[in-house]
Amino acid sequence: MLYQYAAPTKAESEKLTSQKEIHYQEMRAMREQIKAVENLHKTAEQLERPQQSQVRKKEDNQL
């Protein structure tokens, strides 16, 4: 059984193209948000490290 495929009309093609562009813009925006969150996470970890070492030093001094 053969299926016939009707080519999209110009209006349908333009609609699909614009939807694709919108989705790509949304994806790029999400990637930028992910990068920002990763940078915040990395900064938080860097700020946490000195505090952890200070707590360990205090614990060692108390022993």
- In this predicted model, what pLDDT tens digit does every residue of 9-51 receive, in sequence order? 999 999 999 999 999 999 999 999 999 999 999 999 999 887 7
Q: Residue 3 gets which letter from DSSP? A: P
Structural tokens at position 14: 């333009």
**Residue that is written with structure tokens 């562009």 in the block:** 21
User: How far is 58 from 14, CA to CA, in rounded Å?
Assistant: 67
pTM metric for this prediction:
0.60
pLDDT of residue 62 exceeding 70: no
What DSSP letter does each residue of 22-38 carry, written as one string? HHHHHHHHHHHHHHHHH
CA distances to 15, 33, 39, 46 from 19, rounded to whole Å, are 6, 21, 30, 41
